[in-house]
Amino acid sequence: MNTPPALDRERGGTASSGPAVELERVDMVFTRRGAEPFKALTDLSLTIEPGTVFCLLGPNGSGKTTTINLLSGLLEPTGGTVRVLGMNPFDQRRRVLSRIALVPQETALYTDLTARENLAFHAAYYGVPGARARQRVETMLELVSLTERADHRVGTFSGGMQRRLALARALLTEPDLLFLDEPTLGVDVQSREAIWNRVRELAAEGRTVLLSTNYMEEAEQLGRQVCIIDRGRRVAIGTPRELKQQADRRRIELTFPSEEAAVEAAPLLRDGFEVAAQDGRLVVTMPQDADQVAFLRSVLDRMDGHRGMSGFQLREPSLQDVFLHFTGRDLRD
């Protein structure tokens, strides 16, 4: 990027009533001399509505960064169409860049400069006028709780603090659309909470956020919509709730005072139930179309008279179960 994109919203105006992002049947094949072509994305379609948080959930190497690079105009798809705020990001890169912000995995901060200097430099580069820039820098430092460390060199910051500063930098220019590539990878719990809260606020302000992650909890906490990708293909898309309904892994957990008590009770359910003993619990998986109440009753009937059982809980499927359901593998494999 040699010339900063102008921050002229009027000039960059587009039909803002449509989706913030649209990918339609996108393929991305990388070719390198002497190597077999590699298909990083296959037939990927998704739509992101404005003012929402959209999570792209997938394991390492599934194509999340490639997708973000296509949306930022850094790559041109080898098939299909990509539209960002109604524009083609590869052909209209300057206009798209004036409306979006990208927080890549590598934060690319100036480690010899202080936090405040990093932000001031970025604001100047993007042409934010002086007085406005000074005010925005202070507001952003405050927002990511780095005011007290504002005059410390960034090289002395933890990974989580650097991530927070990178997010603050991205927000200086008040983008309509943010791409966050695994924003909490390896960060401490406080920074993670701060980043999550900020992402929620961004959507509440009407901005659109695309966040890539391989943490299911993050997708569940933040995503209005979640798209699960695996090996460059979309395997499922929907709200966390819709995805979990499809996963069909509702379970009843029976609790026991000890591992031995659980193991001892397990034979009562062996016949006709899918049951596993885990850390002082028996986990009984419900068949797809089972009526919840009738199923619970039949499990408890079987356990009737078993003195050791201390309680039970109904467990909804997790996004981990969803991934397993659609791919046959664990997300962490």
Task: Please enumerate in sequence order all residues whose Cβ is within 8 A of that of 160, keeping only pairs 6 or more positions apart, or say none.
Answer: 187, 188, 190, 191, 192
Minimum CB separation from ligand ATP for residue 151, in Å? Answer: 33
Euclidean distance between CA atoms 257 and 250, whole angstroms? 23
41: left (phi over 0), alpha (psi -120 to 50) or beta: beta
Q: What number of helices (H) and strands (E) belong to the chain?
A: 12, 13
Radius of gyration of the CA atoms of the chain, in A: 24
Minimum CB separation from ligand ATP for residue 157, in Å? Answer: 22
Return the structure tokens found at 78: 């080898």
Residue 67 or 98 with smaller CB distance to ligand ATP? 67
Residue 123 or 219 with smaller CB distance to ligand ATP? 219
Q: Please return the burial class of 115, using the count of CB atoms within 10 Å of its CB with bins 0-12, 13-18 and 19+.
A: buried
Kindly give the residue spans of alpha helices, DSSP state H, lying in 144-186: 159-171
Minimum CB separation from ligand ATP for residue 76, in Å? Answer: 12
Task: Please enumerate in sequence order all residues whose Cβ is within 8 A of that of 276, keeping only pairs 6 or more positions apart, or say none.
Answer: 282, 283
Residue 143: CB atoms within 10 A of its CB come to 17
Angle between helices 115-125 and 130-143 (to 10 degrees): 140
Minimum CB separation from ligand ATP for residue 193, in Å? Answer: 22
Residue 143 or 185 with smaller CB distance to ligand ATP? 185
Residue 68 or 286 with smaller CB distance to ligand ATP? 68
Binding-site ranges for ligand ATP (CB under 6 A): 30, 32, 38, 40, 58, 60-66, 214
Q: Pairing relation of β-strands 281-285 and 274-278? A: antiparallel
Task: Find the helix or strand (DSSP H, E) in which 6 lies.
Answer: none
Return the structure tokens found at 107: 């934060």
Minimum CB separation from ligand ATP for residue 256, in Å? Answer: 39
Minimum CB separation from ligand ATP for residue 41, in Å? Answer: 8
Q: Which residues pair with 228 in a beta bridge?
A: 57, 236
Residue 72 or 98 with smaller CB distance to ligand ATP? 72
Residue 42 or 285 with smaller CB distance to ligand ATP? 42
- Residue 91, SS3 per DSSP: coil
| In contact, 141 and 184? CB cutoff 8 Å | no
Minimum CB separation from ligand ATP for residue 176, in Å? Answer: 23
Minimum CB separation from ligand ATP for residue 241, in Å? Answer: 24
Q: Which residue has the tokens 């010339």?
A: 3
